[in-house]
Amino acid sequence: MAEALKHLIGPHTARDTADAVAAAWDGFDRAAFLAEVLPALDDLELMQRGQCIADALRRHLPGDFEAAANILHACLPTSERPGLTGWALLAVNQYVAAEDAPHLEAALELLKALTPHFTGEFGIRRLIHEHQDEALAIIATWVTCPNHHVRRLASEGTRPRLPWAMRLPNLVRDPAPILPILEALIDDEEDYVRRSVANSLNDIAKDHPDLVADFVERHAVGASKNRLWLLKHASRTLVKKGHGKALANFGYAPLADVTAKLSLADERIVFPGELGFTIQLTNTGKVTRTVLLDYAIHHQKKDGSLTPKVFKGKSLVLGAGESVTIAKRHALRPITTRVYHPGLHRLEIQLNGVSVASADFDLAVPAGKTA
């Protein structure tokens, strides 16, 4: 059995932290710190364990944050000596996250120094949320930092909807303040950074689809291979949802002269089972067309309504007058993220984001089957 996630932080973490702080500051009471932390860890989960160590640091480090930050900075590894790395630095993130505006510059400087050894994302989010203009003004200067981990923190730490971290509601509502940061990093030499930029734009697209489609259109002109990949990755949610301009940005314009004929292998599927279907595509026009074929399953909900889930199909090129038949099978099996309900379901075919054909089928769930 895999070890529980919480054990990434444990007594070893507390002792490593105590040793590093004691080496950096003669005034640290290592024994008192450990006497406070060690008995408390057993009953706590991962983030709570980090917070426990952070709270104890606050009580045992100097009350002046800049002095405490200098001590914690001295706990980080250098080329001359080892230091705290990995999950031991979660507590430092949480310590920094509690700081207020008077120490904002020192707090961000500590996270900048920390991020090459562990992510600084946990600590930076609340600082951005509570002091957005001041924090972003400092973070914007990081885009030219020689260290790629710092540049990535500039893009990843400011993501409006960063998974596993607090949301930044002000940037969800208005992402304009972070667009200059993303633009500055769009051609970064590190894939690690470019991927973060793409993910941030994809976050923004969930709330401001037209803004991201326009951003992609502007930056696609003369784009390098790396930038084009970034822009496509940034558009993945928009493309999946069939956003017209997002599709057009990559050559998938509406197709008035491509027809689709849909046939189901069976109109009744017994769960668990497979939905088999074929699509015959015909280019009735006089020019070659690029086609992005997707399909959606409209699953029945408990109240009888239907809700669609889009699945990526394939991209193909159809010459003038050309016809092609594509066969697909879609599994309908138990999964942890969906409850299947018996009754009417619908298969919908999309070409370049536009619905062109659909067919209904009935899903039967025998008694005793887990759906």
CB 33 within 8 A of CB 56: yes
Residue 58: the pLDDT is 96
Q: Where in the chain do CATH 1.25.40.290 domains reside?
A: 5-249
What CATH number labels 5-249? 1.25.40.290
Which residue reads 């070893």 in tokens? 12
Residue 240: the pLDDT is 83
What parts of the chain have a pLDDT lower than 70? Answer: 1-3, 101, 368-371
What is each CA distance from 366 to 49, 119, 334, 340, in whole angstroms?
46, 49, 13, 12
Residue 4: the pLDDT is 81
Identify the architecture of domain 258-364 in CATH: Sandwich (2.60)
Q: What is the phi-psi region of residue 164: left when phi exceeds 0, alpha when psi lies from -120 to 50, beta otherwise?
A: left
Q: Where in the chain do CATH 2.60.40.10 domains reside?
A: 258-364
Residue 371: the pLDDT is 56
Residue 81: the pLDDT is 84
pTM for this predicted structure = 0.80
Number of C-alpha atoms within 13 angstroms, CB side, residue 32?
A: 9
